[in-house]
Amino acid sequence: MTPHTLQLAAPYISTSLSCSLNLPTESPLPQPRPNTKWSKITINGISTGTSLTRSPLTPDECHMALAASNPSYATLSIMQKPSWVCLPTSYQLGSVSSLLVAFENPDGSKLKVLLAKCYLYVCGNRASVLCSWAHFYFLPTFPLFWIT
């Protein structure tokens, strides 16, 4: 089945499932769409915004701050809004942490553009950008042959 025929069949599949599972008809099942390649980046060195009067920045606040200061970020189709790498409740006053962001990237070109820039700006601060899987590809160096 191709993505196009699946989308055409989706209303019928949704109706059949709703009837079979006795689901209310006013809450239809989500519509399928073709798989699209995503990329994920880590944005390091971001102030969490934690203070005596407020908790860390929310995903929406981080997303809006990134989009406002970075044209290359603003054009991305975000699939997962920025999320902190640690639990937001664990951050103390003035903490600095990292965010993870996933975005649609069918051919890999958008990831290359972001990595070439090396930095994004968030709330007036410059933060470094890494591909979130890059650290898995750095292998430890050790001699292959021992010379005795």
Check whether residue 49 and residue 86 sit in a common domain: yes
Check whether residue 122 and residue 88 sit in a common domain: yes
Check whether residue 30 and residue 99 sit in a common domain: no
Q: According to the model, what pLDDT value does residue 146 have?
A: 41
Residue 61 lies in a domain: yes
Residue 103 lies in a domain: yes
Q: What is the CATH number of the domain that holds 55?
A: 3.30.70.1820
Domain count of the fold of the chain: 2
| pTM over cut 0.85 | no
Over the stretch 88-97, which tens digit does the pLDDT of each residue have?
889 999 899 9
Q: Cα–Cα distance between 127 and 117 in angstroms, integer? A: 11
Q: Cα–Cα distance between 44 and 41 in angstroms, integer? A: 10
The two structure tokens encoding residue 127: 């933060």
Residue 142 lies in a domain: no
The number of helix segments (H) and strand segments (E) in the chain equals 4, 5
Check whether residue 78 and residue 14 sit in a common domain: no
Residue 83 lies in a domain: yes
What b/e sequence results for 83-104 when a residue is b if at least 16 CB atoms lie within 10 Å of its CB, and e otherwise? ebeeebeebeeebebbbebbbe
Over the stretch 73-85, which tens digit does the pLDDT of each residue have?
999 999 999 999 9
Check whether residue 56 and residue 21 sit in a common domain: no
38 neighbors 104 (Cβ within 8 angstroms): yes
Residue-range definition of the domain harbouring residue 114: 38-133
Residue 108 lies in a domain: yes
Say whether 84 sits in a helix, a strand or coil: strand
Over the stretch 5-56, which tens digit does the pLDDT of each residue have?
766 777 777 778 778 887 776 665 566 666 778 889 889 988 898 888 989 9
Check whether residue 30 and residue 44 sit in a common domain: no
Check whether residue 112 and residue 91 sit in a common domain: yes
Check whether residue 16 and residue 59 sit in a common domain: no
Check whether residue 67 and residue 86 sit in a common domain: yes
Check whether residue 10 and residue 30 sit in a common domain: yes
Check whether residue 78 and residue 103 sit in a common domain: yes
Over the stretch 107-130, which tens digit does the pLDDT of each residue have?
888 888 888 888 888 888 888 888
Check whether residue 20 and residue 48 sit in a common domain: no
Which element (helix H / strand E) includes 96? strand 96-104
Q: What's the sign of the alpha-carbon dihedral 86, 88, 93, 95?
A: positive
